[in-house]
């Protein structure tokens, strides 16, 4: 079964290497998304999504297989290789027939989870073990590259036919709840729904998972490794998938409760993220802003420092806006203050413009002055520059800066609030 778009020389090299391994009892198989998408295309007439990155699994050493593959390819085809010895994987970048192909070659492995949510312990295994460690049945199908045989020990083809996502094991989500986020990604991309038994597993996992995220929790209640995996899956969801559909699926399955109970009940995330997208803000920051304690959630997800700082600045600004306008500002009505007063608050040292944008998209203050500041006021400067003032006799120094601020304020006073 050929994969459309894969260079013929690569297909021939992989088949040759696979036959060499077969002679010594070491299988080489194509696994993962390439096989799934090929079946959807060939059997179910789904549109072909283009040449994917290729995931290969080998019985035996991945690095030894890569050496054999390199010998079977034309000279200069290998443009880059990165080996991850701890995980038994090698990433390859190939240039063939004017096309760049990315290969991920992994030693077949078996996984066990010592504690729910922790990183798994990995040991070498066979191809069957490697398929058994995967998330959903539709991703546990392999194509033996020596014989061309399709290996489907978990019924993935039947689930493809039914266009459903079935978790591989009864404890798949207990072991790694981030699989539910991944399921929402696949569901939105492929138009699949979570199979009934898997949905019940999601309900039980969310109900039982000790993920309250309050101060004073017992140590280890929320493993750091799980927070990292959740963030990575959310980043992929927001960057690569039709995120409105994916987040709607995740919320429908109860999965936003893995982040925060208030987010699970949030009916405004779609509008907030749409506005954030228009303002050029990180979508994950806009999502986290809807949590009961955004900074605590940011810490648990291990957001980058810049995003964590943006949330902190937004919370500081939100408090300042509440003080400026009282209940009127929080209710969406402009406080009876001047444009200069608004600018003084919105341009507080240490508050980035992006924090004002986040206040705007989250409805943290009076919409009209925030929007006018974002679109116009922040760009208004003194009608005279420093050089012009000096030419008119203004001495350089603190007085010059004060005069520039005064002239800008006079210009701002001409603006409509």
Identify the pLDDT of residue 336.
46
Q: Are residue 402 and residue 357 in the same domain, yes or no?
A: yes
Q: Report residue 31 as tokens.
A: 């696994």
CATH of the domain at 92: 3.30.460.10
Q: Are residue 262 and residue 173 in the same domain, yes or no?
A: yes
Q: What is the pLDDT of residues 380-391, one digit of tens each?
A: 887 776 677 677
Report which DSSP code applies to 153: T
When the pLDDT of each residue in the chain is averaged and rounded to a whole number, the result is 88
User: Is 248 inside a domain boundary?
Assistant: yes
pLDDT-based confidence at 220, cuts 50/70/90? very low
d(CA 294, CA 384): 42
Environment class of residue 167 by beta-carbon count within 10 Å: exposed (0-12), middle (13-18) or buried (19+)? Answer: buried
Q: Are residue 95 and residue 20 in the same domain, yes or no?
A: yes
Q: Are residue 20 and residue 140 in the same domain, yes or no?
A: yes
Identify the pLDDT of residue 44.
74
Q: Are residue 34 and residue 139 in the same domain, yes or no?
A: yes
- Stated as kind and residue range, the H or E segment containing 33 is helix 33-42
Query: Which of 16-30, 156-170, 333-347 holds the top average pLDDT?
Result: 156-170
User: Is 301 inside a domain boundary?
Assistant: no
Q: What is the CA radius of gyration of the chain?
A: 28
Q: What is the phi/psi pair of residue 340, to 5°?
A: -60, -40
User: Is 249 inside a domain boundary?
Assistant: yes
Q: What is the pLDDT of residues 404-416, one digit of tens each?
A: 677 777 787 777 7
Q: Are residue 112 and residue 226 in the same domain, yes or no?
A: no
CB atoms within 10 A of CB 231: 21
CATH of the domain at 170: 1.10.110.30
Give the β-pairing of 164-165 and 193-194: parallel
Q: What is the pLDDT of residues 103-144, one digit of tens each?
A: 999 999 999 988 888 888 989 999 999 999 999 999 999 999
Identify the pLDDT of residue 288.
98
Decide which of 113, 136, 161 is a domain's last residue. 161
Q: Is the pLDDT of residue 212 over 70?
A: no
User: Is 279 inside a domain boundary?
Assistant: no
CA distances from 188 to 201, 206, 386, 408 (A): 20, 21, 55, 49
Q: What is the pLDDT of residues 193-206, one digit of tens each?
A: 999 999 999 999 99
d(CA 259, CA 239): 18
pLDDT, average across residues 92-98: 91
Identify the pLDDT of residue 165.
98
Identify the pLDDT of residue 156.
97
Identify the pLDDT of residue 279.
96
Q: Are residue 18 and residue 141 in the same domain, yes or no?
A: yes
pLDDT-based confidence at 335, cuts 50/70/90? low
Q: What is the pLDDT of residues 247-277, one digit of tens each?
A: 999 999 999 999 999 999 999 999 999 999 9
Q: Are residue 155 and residue 183 in the same domain, yes or no?
A: no
Q: Are residue 62 and residue 43 in the same domain, yes or no?
A: yes
Identify the pLDDT of residue 359.
96
Identify the pLDDT of residue 321.
87
Q: Where are the beta strands (DSSP E) in 74-113?
A: 78-84, 89-96, 99-107, 109-112
pLDDT, average across residues 169-184: 96
> Which residues are CB-contacts of 378 (< 8 A; sequence separation ≥ 6)?
343, 346, 347, 353, 356
Decide which of 251, 266, 281 is a domain's last residue. 266
Nearest to 310 by CA among 278, 286, 342: 286
pTM for the structure as a whole: 0.88
CA 357 to chain centre: 21
Q: What is the pLDDT of residues 20-58, one digit of tens each?
A: 888 777 899 999 999 999 899 887 777 777 666 899 999
User: Is 294 inside a domain boundary?
Assistant: no
User: Is 274 inside a domain boundary?
Assistant: no
Residue pair 205/169 in contact by the 8 Å Cβ criterion: no
Decide which of 108, 133, 161 is a domain's last residue. 161
pLDDT, average across residues 142-164: 95
Q: Are residue 148 and residue 211 in the same domain, yes or no?
A: no
Number of domains forming the structure of the chain: 3
Q: What share of the chain is helix, strand, coil (3-state, %, to 5)?
A: 55, 10, 35
Q: What is the pLDDT of residues 337-359, one digit of tens each?
A: 788 888 888 999 999 999 999 99
Which residue range(s) make up the domain with 138?
A: 1-161
Q: Are residue 47 and residue 130 in the same domain, yes or no?
A: yes
d(CA 204, CA 377): 51
Q: Are residue 41 and residue 91 in the same domain, yes or no?
A: yes
């Amino acid at each position: 079964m050929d994969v459309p778009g894969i260079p013929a020389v690569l297909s021939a090299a992989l088949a040759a290497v696979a036959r060499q391994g077969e002679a010594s009892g070491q299988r080489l198989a194509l696994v993962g998304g390439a096989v799934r998408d090929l079946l959807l295309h060939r059997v179910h007439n789904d549109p072909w999504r283009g040449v994917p990155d290729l995931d290969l699994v080998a019985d035996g050493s991945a690095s030894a297989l890569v050496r054999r593959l390199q010998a079977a390819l034309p000279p200069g085809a290998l443009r880059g290789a990165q080996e991850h010895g701890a995980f038994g994987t090698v990433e390859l970048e190939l240039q063939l027939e004017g096309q760049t192909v990315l290969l991920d070659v992994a030693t077949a492995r078996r996984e066990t989870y010592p504690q729910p949510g922790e990183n798994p312990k990995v040991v070498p295994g066979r191809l069957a073990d490697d398929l058994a460690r995967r998330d959903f049945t539709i991703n546990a199908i392999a194509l033996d590259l020596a014989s061309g045989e399709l290996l489907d020990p978990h019924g993935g083809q039947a689930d493809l036919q039914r266009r459903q996502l079935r978790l591989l094991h009864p404890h798949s989500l207990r072991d790694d709840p981030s699989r539910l986020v991944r399921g929402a990604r696949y569901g939105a991309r492929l138009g699949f729904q979570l199979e009934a038994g898997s949905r019940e597993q999601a309900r039980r996992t969310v109900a039982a998972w000790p993920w309250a995220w309050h101060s004073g929790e017992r140590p280890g209640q929320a493993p750091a490794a799980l927070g990292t995996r959740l963030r990575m899956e959310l980043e992929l969801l927001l960057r690569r998938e039709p995120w409105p559909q994916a987040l709607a699926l995740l919320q429908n399955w109860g999965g936003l409760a893995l982040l925060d109970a208030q987010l699970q009940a949030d009916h405004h995330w779609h509008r907030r993220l749409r506005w954030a997208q228009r303002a050029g803000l990180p979508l994950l920051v806009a999502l986290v802003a809807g949590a009961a304690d955004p900074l605590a959630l940011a810490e648990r997800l291990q957001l980058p420092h810049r995003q964590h700082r943006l949330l902190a600045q937004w919370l500081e600004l939100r408090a300042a806006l509440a003080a400026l306008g009282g209940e009127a500002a929080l209710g969406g009505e402009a406080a009876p203050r001047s444009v200069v007063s608004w600018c003084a608050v919105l341009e507080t040292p240490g508050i980035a413009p992006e924090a004002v944008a986040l206040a705007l998209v989250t409805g943290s203050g009076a919409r009209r002055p925030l929007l006018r500041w974002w679109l116009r006021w922040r760009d208004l400067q003194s009608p005279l520059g420093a050089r012009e003032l000096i030419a008119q006799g203004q001495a350089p120094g603190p007085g010059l800066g004060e005069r520039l601020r005064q002239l800008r304020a006079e210009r701002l006073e001409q603006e409509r609030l």
